[in-house]
Amino acid sequence: MADEPDNDETQESPGEAPDPVPPMLWYVLKVQSNREKTIRDNLLRRMKREGLEHFFGEIKIPTEKVVETKGGKKKVTERKLYPGYIMINMVLNDETWYLVRETGGVGDFTGAARKPMPMQDHEIAKMLGAGTEQAVEPTKVKIDFARGDKVKIKEGGFEGFEGAIDAIDDANGRVSVLVEIFGRSTPVELEYWQVETV
């Protein structure tokens, strides 16, 4: 019995060691816009069918959460940061390259001279937000105004007043409007949905 481990060790010779699996790297795929999720699902299905899952890691569609207010109600939606692009973590070889390229809706890998180029660490961190994730993900409010836009206040104590946008606070969904009161420009803080363009 004590000889068994020795026998196991002698059976493996340096010449018979399996080829080490290359590391998984992140690549960016150009895909049909507005079909990113469908294409990701198709890729996952094809990997399983071809038995190549071990060559693939995550497939991500980078998004951010945006707060929109319609009719005074806040709604959180996800917005694609890079429409028409998917990030894929994979080992690039002939089989995986062919599987990805032959999936409907996939245009090509991004890279130089049609050769897929893996992403650099700083690009991965930027696109995936690595290291900046928090337990409660901050949301941005989608405000369709710019500084200087002429607006009319449609709700609140200054309803009916007109003025110009002086400042925009995306984080809190508020705007500051310069309103003329008694002949003087006075900044008024409002929720962004309380104003409309003139």
Q: Are 59 and 43 in contact (CB under 8 A)?
A: yes
pLDDT in tens, 138-153: 556 677 888 899 999 8
pLDDT at residue number 20? 65
pLDDT at 138: 52
pLDDT over 70 percentage in the chain: 79
Residues of the chain with CATH 2.30.30.30: 143-197
Long-range contacts of 76-84 (CB under 8 A, 24+ apart): 76/139, 79/142, 80/36, 81/127, 82/127, 83/33, 83/34, 83/36, 84/30, 84/31, 84/32, 84/33, 84/36
Residues of the chain with CATH 3.30.70.940: 21-140
- Alpha-helix runs per DSSP H in the chain: 3-11, 36-50, 94-101, 121-128
CATH 2.30.30.30 fits 143-197, yes or no: yes
Stated pTM of the model: 0.55
Architecture of the domain defined by 21-140: 2-Layer Sandwich (3.30)
Angle among Cα 129, 134, 140 to the nearest 5 degrees reads 70
**Residue tagged 């399983």 (tokens):** 48
Q: Give the model's pLDDT for residue 19.
A: 58
